[in-house]
Amino acid sequence: MIADHLDRILAAGEDLTKLTFTVHGREPDDTVNAFVRRCRDLEFSAVAALLRAREHARELGRYGTDFAPLARLFAAQTVAITDAVDQMSDRQAVQFNGQDPLEFFRTRGLLETEAGCLMTVERIDITEDFLIAGAIHLGALMDMSAALLDALEVHFDLFPPLDADLPDQAATASGSAAL
């Protein structure tokens, strides 16, 4: 279901924005490589969910539903991800520069393109300006996903209120007082 994929995009995005790396004036080592691996894992999760959401959005866009215009807009605004995925899966490109943390930081907008080392920055924070797969700003992707998810939620009531599953506390309290 498209809502599940949109929710996964938002969850991966939120997890990404919690990531921070403090450089401490050192060159890349195991710590920075672990940070990049974590970023990549979350990025791949977001991309996989986005690809599935795009499939569902295109399908929704084909039907004359109330969501057709919004679904087509979502698919059109995220089309850049398809080219980026092709580049991400290009083994030669990954072997050539994909393992370099500096290249990862540059292509995601975290480090200036001319920076030759990490010693020029004190810390790296993943923000909404992070470029998912080097193609789409994380903030924009999260906004688009949230907008479509909100529209689906309003129309289909996808997420029941949290307290709907709980027994009425007033009835429980009065029942236990009578015992």
Going from N- to C-terminal start, the domains of the chain cover 2-159
Across 92-104, average pLDDT: 66
Task: Tell me the average pLDDT across 161-165.
Answer: 65
Closest CA to 51 of 83, 94, 29, 90: 83
Q: For residue 104, give the nearest of 16, 7, 159, 32 by alpha carbon.
A: 32
Residues 102-121 pLDDT 10s: 888 999 999 887 776 777 78
Residue 169, pLDDT score: 53
Instruction: Provide, rounded to the nearest whole percent, the portion of the chain with pLDDT above 90.
Output: 46
Asked whether the beta carbons of 74 and 57 are under 8 A apart, the reply is yes
Q: Which residue has the higher pLDDT, 164 or 18?
A: 18
Q: Residues 142-146: what's their mean pLDDT?
A: 97
Is pLDDT above 90 for 92? no
Asked if residue 110 lies in contact with residue 130, where contact means CB atoms within 8 angstroms, the answer is yes
Predicted pLDDT of residue 6: 97
Range in 24-28, 57-61, 68-72, 145-149 the model is least confident about: 24-28
Q: What is the mean pLDDT of residues 33-56?
A: 94
Which helix (H) or strand (E) is 17 found in, with range?
helix 2-17
